[in-house]
Amino acid sequence: MPKVSVSEAQELRVGPNFQLDDVDPKATPGLVGSDDVDKAFHVYDDDLDELQEMLYANGRADNEQAGSVLLVLQGMDTSGKGGIVRHVIGETMDLQGVHVKAFGRPTEEEAAHDFLWRFEPHLPKPGQIAVFDRSHYEDVLVQRVKQMAPPEEIERRYGAIVDFETELAARGTKIIKVMPHISRDYQAENLRKRITNPKKHWKYNPGDIDDRKLWSQYMAAYQIAMTRTSTDVAPWYCIPSDNKKYCRTVVKTLLYDALKSLGNEWPAPDFDPDVELARLAQS
């Protein structure tokens, strides 16, 4: 059965010598045949199902060691962040243990606080998986590209992010940061669909073209942000995503790996099964 293995997925990890320019958005590393991705997409479904339920069960059982997962999705418009939420998270996870939060422009109150303040309430509790659709990286991406903060403040933020994530990891959260990487051509195709298909109009914003014109500046900002904040405890993965199902397949593998590494077991019962079976028989 074709799949993207854990080690293949880990190949996409951003290391110190990472060059975004070297990543081909059309590639599908680990998969060869054209229908491989359809098969590979479901390989980890049962494991994800069980591992997430186990995580949630440990959270419910107040196991302080249950741990949690934070999946950060940060990519250009139409790169498939929403599709990951829908088809990876929605289709394989139990919503009761999942918290999805899409971050837009900060409110006035949020903007008055340190940039990390608004993310705190949405961090995963023990037993939970939290998904950030856009994230604290907006503050070193769009804010850098559009010069919405002074250069020295942007500089400060890389370190602040590393500290924030290191602290979070120390509290037991596995962090996976994903950039679904699409080509400029593929984005044009996607935007064209949003502009011409009335069912997709609601997803289109004329500002998307303004951002598109700043493509190379954005890529430079991603390059810097990812290399400066990809750490052992909070690695970035740059996933080729012109084939969106490939990207979703890799995200499943990464989630599988993260959940597995939490090392949870099914919680021991806080009751005596024999006693309860007897009570059931008499009820």
The binder of its own copies chosen from 116, 195, 220, 224 (CB under 8 A): 195
| Count of residues engaged in binding its own copies, rule: CB under 8 A | 45
- Measured from the CB atom, the residue of 5 and 205 that comes closer to its own copies is 205
Q: Do 117 and 110 touch, CB atoms closer than 8 A?
A: yes
- DSSP-assigned letters across all residues of 148-208: -S-HHHHHHHHHHHHHHHHHHHHTTEEEEEEEEE--HHHHHHHHHHHHH-TTTGGG--THH
Burial 71-84 (b: 16+ CB within 10 A, else e): bbbbbbbbbbbebb
> Could you tell me the smallest distance in angstroms from the CB atom of residue 153 to its own copies?
29
Closest among 191, 182, 189, 196 to 209, alpha carbons compared? 191
Q: Compute the distance between CA of residue 123 and CA of residue 54 in angstroms, rounded to an integer.
A: 19
Q: What is the three-class DSSP state of 257?
A: helix
Site for its own copies in 55-74 (CB under 8 A): 57, 60-61
**20 is a contact residue toward its own copies (CB under 8 A):** no
The binder of its own copies chosen from 8, 91, 110, 153 (CB under 8 A): 91
The binder of its own copies chosen from 19, 125, 185, 266 (CB under 8 A): 266
> Could you tell me the smallest distance in angstroms from the CB atom of residue 255 to its own copies?
15
The binder of its own copies chosen from 82, 167, 185, 261 (CB under 8 A): 82
**233 is a contact residue toward its own copies (CB under 8 A):** no
Tokens 């705190």 — which residue?
Answer: 120
Amino acid identity for residue 109 in this structure = E
Chain residues that interact with its own copies, rule: CB under 8 A: 50, 53, 57, 60-61, 82, 85-86, 89-91, 93-96, 98, 100, 102, 133, 188, 191-192, 195-196, 198-199, 201-204, 206, 209, 212-213, 266-269, 271, 273, 276-277, 279-280, 283
